[in-house]
C-alpha cells in the first residue's frame, strides 16, 4: 500500500473488532441512510451505514431498528413482498484493504436478517464472496441481478443469482468495470453507468454505450421511467433524460431552475410523468409533473443531504439521508414532514484537503468522549491514476470515517488539484475551477458557504498535508470569509482551527 494511504489503513484495522454486539441503538441513530422502499402505504424499510435497517408498519409514524449481523454500509434494497427482502452493500477487509460485498436476506419481513451466502446452519456456502454491491434487484424468491465492483476471480461487475442470492455468476459480455449505478428492467435488460462514463444499455450478452453530450460531471443515479424512458442525475445539477430506452441521452425539455447547479444530485424517483430530484444540500426537491417539460421547486425545511427518494404514487413519497433523516410527503412533495432523524445539524464539521489527511483520530475522540455528531467533507479532487483507484480511496476513507464515528462524509469533485509536489501557486490552482483564478476562488468560497448552511456546525476544523500548502492556506482564507458570510444569515459556526 502506498505510504500516502497509511492513515486509512491504520484506522481500518479497527474495523476488524466491530461486531453485531457493538451495534447499540445510539450508534445507529445518526447513521446515514442510503435507500428507502415501501411495499404499501404502511410497510416500509430504510437502510444505510453501519448496517442500519429501519422499519415501519404505520406509514412512518414510528420507525424501529431491525437487528443485523453487519456493521457494513448498505446501499441497495430489494423488497419482493411482505416477507422476502434483500439488502446489499459493502465493507473493507482489514489488513488487505480490499472491498467485499455484503448481502443480507430476510424471509420474515425483516425480523431476522442473515447472510444470503450462508447455509441455514450458519456455514458459508464456500462460493467466492461478492465484491461491493451498489445496486440489487430480485425478480422473485430465487432470481435476481446485482451490480457493483468487479471481482478479481469472478470478473464482471454485473452478477446474476438463481438460488435466492446464495451463489452469483458474472454476466457474459459485460466488461469488468466498476458500476456506480444501475437499473434493471427485467432479468435480461438494464442500464449501467460507470462513475466517469455514459450510461450503457445492457441486453443479456451485449452492452451498448448511450449517446450523450460531452459531459465532465459524474452520474450518481440512473432509473427507468415508463416503457422506454429513463433519467440519469449527478453532480453540479446534472440531469439527463432518455426516451429511447437508453440509446441516447439529452437534457430534459425544460432546464431546471438555476439554483440546481449548486446541488449534487443523488436521489431521484418517478411515477407516471412525475419526476422528483434531490441531493446535497437537501433543502430543495426539484419536481416535474410533465416528464421534464416544466419544473417546480419544493421546500423540505431540511438542509441535510438526501440520498434517496421513493414514491408509491403521485402523492405519497419518502426521502432519506444524512444523520438518519427520513422525510415524508402526502401531497406529491408540496409539503414534507420529518418522520425521524438524530438531529437537524452536526455539532462539528471536519474539512480536509484530501481523504488521507482527514483527522480520524480526532473524530473518534469527538464522537466517543464528547458524543458529538460529526460530519466530514473532502474538498479537493486529488490526482489519482484511475477512477477505480479514486473509488477505492473514497470507499476506504468513508469506511474509516464510519469506524471513527463520523455520521456522514462527502467528497467533492468540483475542485481538481494537481500533484502536491508540483507546488503550484494559488492562481494556477484556482484557474482550473472557473473562467479566471478569481472566479475559481469564488466557486470554492460558495461551496464552503453551502457546507456551512448544510451542516450548520458549532465548530469547523480544517486539516491538510502541511500548514504551508497552497490548498490548505487557500481553504483557511476562504473559509474565514465563508464563516463571515454565514454569520450574516445566523449560522452558528463559531470556531475555525487548523490541524497538522
pLDDT digits (tens, 9 = 90+) for 382-403: 655 455 666 778 888 888 899 8
Task: For residue 295, give the 3-state DSSP assignment.
Answer: coil
pLDDT number for residue 340: 97
Tell the burial category of 371 from Cβ atoms under 10 Å away from its Cβ (0-12, 13-18, 19+).
Answer: exposed
Residue 268 has what DSSP assignment? Answer: E
Looking at the chain, the whole-number percentage of residues with pLDDT higher than 70 is 86
| Cα–Cα distance, 90 to 392 (Å, whole number) | 12
Q: Give the pLDDT band of residue 492 (cuts 50, 70, 90).
A: low
pLDDT average, residue stretch 208-218: 87
Residue predicted with more confidence, 424 or 283? 283
Nine-digit cell at 336? Answer: 414534507
Tell me: pLDDT of 164 over 80.
Answer: yes
Tell me: pLDDT of 154 over 80.
Answer: no
What is the tens place of the pLDDT at every residue in 112-132? 999 987 544 444 444 557 889
Tell me: pLDDT of 27 over 50.
Answer: yes
Looking at the chain, the whole-number percentage of residues with pLDDT higher than 90 is 56
Range with the lowest mean pLDDT among 85-99, 138-152, 238-252, 284-298? 85-99
Range with the lowest mean pLDDT among 35-39, 270-274, 282-286, 486-490? 486-490
pLDDT average, residue stretch 42-70: 96
Tell me: pLDDT of 8 over 60.
Answer: no
pLDDT average, residue stretch 291-307: 97
Q: How many CB atoms lie within 10 A of CB 100?
A: 17
Question: Are the beta carbons of 36 and 45 closer than 8 angstroms?
Answer: yes
Q: How many CB atoms lie within 10 A of CB 255?
A: 13
pLDDT average, residue stretch 479-489: 73
pLDDT average, residue stretch 167-195: 90
Range with the lowest mean pLDDT among 35-44, 331-340, 368-377? 368-377
| Cα–Cα distance, 336 to 287 (Å, whole number) | 13
Tell me: pLDDT of 320 over 50.
Answer: yes
Question: Are the beta carbons of 284 and 297 closer than 8 angstroms?
Answer: yes
pLDDT number for residue 496: 54
Q: Give the helix/strand (H/E) hosting 25.
A: helix 25-29
Residue predicted with more confidence, 245 or 7? 245
Range with the lowest mean pLDDT among 5-14, 77-86, 196-205? 5-14
Nine-digit cell at 493? Answer: 459556526
pLDDT number for residue 4: 46
Residue count of the chain: 500
CA torsion, points 304, 309, 310, 314, in degrees to nearest 10?
100
Residue predicted with more confidence, 83 or 480? 83
Question: Are the beta carbons of 327 and 319 closer than 8 angstroms?
Answer: yes
Range with the lowest mean pLDDT among 100-114, 183-197, 320-334? 183-197
pLDDT number for residue 176: 85
Tell the burial category of 343 from Cβ atoms under 10 Å away from its Cβ (0-12, 13-18, 19+).
Answer: middle
pLDDT number for residue 303: 95
What pTM value is reported for the model? Answer: 0.91
Q: How many CB atoms lie within 10 A of CB 9?
A: 18
| Cα–Cα distance, 54 to 65 (Å, whole number) | 5
Q: How far is CA 103 from the centre of its chain?
A: 18
Mean pLDDT over each residue of the chain, to the nearest integer: 86
Tell me: pLDDT of 41 over 90.
Answer: yes
Q: How far is CA 350 from the centre of its chain?
A: 18
What is the tens place of the pLDDT at every residue in 352-391? 888 888 888 899 999 987 789 999 999 987 655 455 666 7
- The tally of CA atoms less than 13 A away on the side-chain side of residue 394 is 22
Q: At what angle do helices 437-455 and 470-488 cross, to 10 degrees?
A: 60
Q: Which residues pair with 430 in a beta bridge?
A: none
| Cα–Cα distance, 149 to 195 (Å, whole number) | 11
Task: For residue 201, give the 3-state DSSP assignment.
Answer: strand
Helix spans in 310-379 (H): 360-368
Nearest to 378 by CA among 358, 359, 363, 362: 358
Q: Give the pLDDT band of residue 18 (cuts 50, 70, 90).
A: very low
Q: What angle do CA 118, 399, 466 make, to 5 degrees?
A: 160
What is the tens place of the pLDDT at every residue in 393-450? 888 888 889 989 999 999 888 888 876 655 678 888 888 888 888 999 999 999 999 9
Task: For residue 417, give the 3-state DSSP assignment.
Answer: strand
| Cα–Cα distance, 111 to 119 (Å, whole number) | 18
For residue 90, give Cα distances in angstroms to 70, 75, 171, 364. 10, 8, 20, 22
Amino acid at each position: 500500500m502506498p505510504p500516502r494511504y497509511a492513515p486509512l489503513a491504520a484506522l481500518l484495522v479497527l474495523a476488524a473488532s466491530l461486531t453485531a454486539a457493538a451495534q447499540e441503538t445510539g450508534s445507529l441513530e445518526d447513521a446515514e441512510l442510503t435507500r428507502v422502499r415501501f411495499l404499501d402505504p404502511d410497510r416500509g424499510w430504510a437502510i444505510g451505514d453501519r448496517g442500519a435497517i429501519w422499519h415501519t408498519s404505520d406509514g412512518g409514524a414510528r420507525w424501529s431498528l431491525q437487528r443485523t449481523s453487519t456493521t457494513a454500509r448498505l446501499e441497495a434494497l430489494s423488497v419482493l413482498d411482505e416477507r422476502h427482502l434483500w439488502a446489499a452493500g459493502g465493507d473493507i477487509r482489514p489488513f488487505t484493504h480490499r472491498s467485499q460485498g455484503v448481502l443480507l436476506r430476510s424471509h420474515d419481513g425483516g425480523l431476522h436478517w442473515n447472510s444470503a451466502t450462508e447455509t441455514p446452519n450458519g456455514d458459508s456456502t464456500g462460493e467466492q464472496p461478492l465484491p461491493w454491491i451498489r445496486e440489487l434487484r430480485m425478480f422473485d424468491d430465487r432470481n435476481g441481478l446485482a451490480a457493483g465492483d468487479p471481482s478479481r476471480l469472478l470478473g464482471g461487475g454485473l452478477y446474476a443469482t438463481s438460488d435466492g442470492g446464495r451463489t452469483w455468476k458474472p454476466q457474459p459480455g459485460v466488461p469488468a468495470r466498476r458500476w456506480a449505478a444501475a437499473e434493471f428492467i427485467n432479468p435480461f435488460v438494464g442500464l449501467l453507468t460507470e462513475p466517469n462514463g455514459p450510461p450503457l444499455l445492457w441486453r443479456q450478452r451485449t452492452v451498448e454505450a448511450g449517446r450523450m453530450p460531452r459531459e465532465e460531471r459524474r452520474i450518481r443515479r440512473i432509473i427507468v421511467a415508463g416503457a422506454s424512458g429513463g433519467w440519469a442525475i449527478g453532480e453540479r445539477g446534472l440531469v439527463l433524460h432518455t426516451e429511447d430506452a437508453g440509446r441516447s441521452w439529452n437534457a430534459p425539455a425544460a432546464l431546471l431552475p438555476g439554483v440546481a447547479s449548486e446541488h449534487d444530485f443523488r436521489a431521484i424517483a418517478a411515477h407516471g410523468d412525475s419526476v422528483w430530484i434531490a441531493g446535497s444540500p437537501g433543502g430543495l426537491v426539484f419536481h416535474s409533473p410533465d416528464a421534464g417539460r416544466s419544473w417546480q421547486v419544493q421546500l423540505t425545511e431540511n438542509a441535510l443531504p438526501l440520498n434517496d427518494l421513493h414514491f408509491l404514487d403521485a402523492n405519497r413519497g419518502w426521502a432519506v439521508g444524512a444523520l438518519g433523516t427520513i422525510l415524508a410527503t402526502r401531497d406529491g412533495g408540496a409539503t414534507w414532514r420529518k418522520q425521524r432523524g438524530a438531529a437537524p445539524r452536526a455539532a462539528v464539521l471536519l474539512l480536509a484537503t484530501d481523504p488521507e489527511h482527514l483527522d480520524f483520530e480526532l473524530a473518534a475522540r469527538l464522537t466517543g468522549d464528547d458524543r458529538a455528531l460529526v460530519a466530514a467533507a473532502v474538498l479537493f479532487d486529488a490526482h489519482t491514476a484511475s477512477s477505480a483507484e479514486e473509488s477505492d480511496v473514497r470507499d476506504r476513507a468513508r469506511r474509516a470515517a464510519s469506524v471513527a464515528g463520523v455520521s456522514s462524509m462527502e467528497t467533492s469533485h468540483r475542485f481538481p488539484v494537481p500533484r502536491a509536489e508540483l507546488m503550484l501557486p494559488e492562481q494556477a490552482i484556482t484557474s482550473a475551477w472557473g473562467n479566471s483564478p478569481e472566479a475559481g476562488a469564488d466557486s470554492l468560497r460558495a461551496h464552503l458557504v453551502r457546507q456551512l448552511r448544510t451542516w450548520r456546525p458549532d465548530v469547523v476544523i480544517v486539516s491538510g498535508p502541511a500548514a504551508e500548502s497552497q490548498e490548505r492556506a487557500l481553504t483557511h482564507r476562504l473559509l474565514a470569509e465563508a464563516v463571515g458570510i454565514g454569520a450574516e444569515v445566523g449560522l452558528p459556526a463559531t470556531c475555525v482551527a487548523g490541524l497538522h
